[in-house]
Structure 1
Amino acid sequence: MENQNPIHVFATWKVKEGQIENVLQLLKTVHNESIKEEGNLFYKIHQSKSDLNTIILFEGYSNEAAVAEHRNSPYFQDLVLGKIVPLLENREIILTTLLEY
């Protein structure tokens, strides 16, 4: 059965030299579209204080289906995969669920 627990996404993006402003500008639109999604709980953009070319995204979704809907959306395909990813040196994504003790 599909996991119905909230899913949290931690994404670390290392932006190519000279491209940080372009990525941040595109991320404004990604953020604004993401928070409109029914299954989105939050979408937070952080910038490393020690390396200004490193962006950390912290995202929350109601379940796995909401993550899939986000990733399959036209704006994600166009902006993130089509325009942002080519401006990155490295991209790491970790999906998590909360452990209850």
Structure 2
Amino acid sequence: MLIAKNTVKQGKQQEFVALAKEMIAKTRQEAGCVYYDLVSDQNDDQIYYFIENYADEAAVAAHRASEYFQTIVPQLAELRVKPSEVSTCTVVE
């Protein structure tokens, strides 16, 4: 499981969400994707988290190597205040 925190530049939230929706739609079609969601922080309208779960490390690698990932992620980066903060997690229960 990956949790990627994104701090979006003020006024760029709609643009970020539009690109994220494209990423979400394509990622959810990947064979190794268990789930892939975008959530917003209720206390800060500039914070968004991608909540990602994959079948295995090979599925993560395939996701990161995909053409759309290579295209969309740099566009998302331009809309963030700082680089995405990615945590690799283990589901406990």
Using structure 1 for the length normalisation, give the TM-score. 0.86
Q: Write 1 or 2 for the structure with the bigger share of strand.
A: 1
Matched, 1:67 2:60: yes
Rounded Cα–Cα distance in structure 2 between residues aligned with 1:44 and 1:11: 11
Rounded Cα–Cα distance in structure 1 between residues aligned with 2:40 and 2:21: 13
Rounded Cα–Cα distance in structure 1 between residues aligned with 2:46 and 2:16: 10
Greater Rg, structure 1 or structure 2? Answer: 1
Rounded Cα–Cα distance in structure 2 between residues aligned with 1:96 and 1:50: 23
Residue 77 (structure 2) aligns with: 85
Rounded Cα–Cα distance in structure 2 between residues aligned with 1:15 and 1:85: 9
Which runs of 4 or more aligned residues in structure 1 lie more than 4 Å from their structure 2 counterparts after TM superposition? none
C-alpha spacing 1:63/1:83, structure 2 compared with 1 (3 Å): same
Rounded Cα–Cα distance in structure 2 between residues aligned with 1:86 and 1:61: 26
Residue 16 (structure 2) aligns with: 23
| Identity value in percent | 30
What secondary structure is seen at the aligned counterpart in 2 of 1:65? helix
Unaligned runs of 5+ in 2: none
Rounded Cα–Cα distance in structure 2 between residues aligned with 1:87 and 1:99: 33
